[in-house]
Each structure stands twice: as structure tokens, then as C-alpha cells.
Amino acid sequence: MTQFYSSQNNWKTISYLIVRVGLGSYLLIHSLINLNNYDQFIQLSIPYVPQGSELGFLANFTPVVPLLEFFIALMILTGLYARKSLMWAIGLGFFFTALFHYTGDIKTALTYSYTLILKVGLFYSLHYNKFSADYYNLWTTQQAIELEKREKEVQDQKKKVMDSLLGLLQE
């Protein structure tokens, strides 16, 4: 898979930025609403995972979902570990789309399907640019690698000079 690390402002990086920030903002607002109305979120979640059904074990994971959505949204919005956060977002989106289809809530399933399409699109067109935290991490790493190379070159030159001086002294 090709990954682009670019400091240029071309149409790919700008469109990727707009979609990433838009999706991240939507997911962040959605998670903040669920966290703000946490009791209501739990009450609305109970019909989807009744205790006596084969999906009853999912009720144990329900309280963690808004917090998980919050951190994933924050990472997508800032572009920090974008690839990993998109993988988690795709997994959650696929799971909830399937769950809502299974329980018969087609309207909510379609909403999750639309965001799932955006998440998959972002994942397969990943462009790290100067507007994401990942680019900054990559740039810093690249600078450190170049500094190490320069230091190694200096050490090699010093060693050559010392070897030639030792050679002259031995003659």
C-alpha cells in the first residue's frame, strides 16, 4: 500500500484533510452527546442487547462505547495515529451496522453505513500531510535519522584522519 508523506498542498491532501476533519468532528460531537447524556445512552442501548438473548454479553461492553468513540474521534480529528484509529473506527462501524441491521433499526444502520464508507475511504486513501499529527511525528523521526547519518559520517571521517595520522607516525 502506498503512503504519501507530503508537505505540499495539492487536491489530495486538502480533500483528505477536509474529509478527515469533518468525520472526526461528527464522531466527536456524537460521542460528546452520548457522554453528556450517559444515562439516556444506556437506557437507549438496553433494547438492542437484551439480557436473555444471544447478544446479552454485549451489555457488558455498552458503557465503554462512548468513551472509546471519543478517543477514536479525537485521534481521527487530529490525525494522530490515523491508520490505527481508522482501523478501530471501521471495526466499530462495521459491528454497529451489523447490530442495527440484526435488530431491525434500518435508519440507524444506514447512518452507520454512510460513516463506515467514509472511514474505509479515508483508510485506503491515507495521505499524511502537514495538517496532521502523524506528519509531524514522521518529520521529527526523519530529522533524527538524518542527524544520526551526519554524526556517523563525521565519526567515519575522524577515524580516517586518525588512521592516516597513525600511518604517518609509524613511517
Lowest-confidence pick of 69-78, 105-114, 162-171 = 162-171
How far apart CA 16 and CA 129 sit, in angstroms, is 9
How far apart CA 116 and CA 94 sit, in angstroms, is 7
| Range among 1-5, 51-55, 73-77 with highest mean pLDDT value | 73-77
Q: Is the pLDDT of residue 171 over 90?
A: no
pLDDT digits (tens, 9 = 90+) for 7-22: 566 777 788 888 888 9
**Cα separations in angstroms, 104 against 21, 52, 110, 136:** 31, 18, 11, 44
Q: Would you state the torsion angle of the CA atoms of residues 69, 74, 75, 80, taken in this order, to the nearest 10 degrees? A: -170
pLDDT digits (tens, 9 = 90+) for 17-47: 888 889 999 999 999 999 999 999 888 887 7
Q: Who wins on pLDDT, 139 or 72?
A: 72
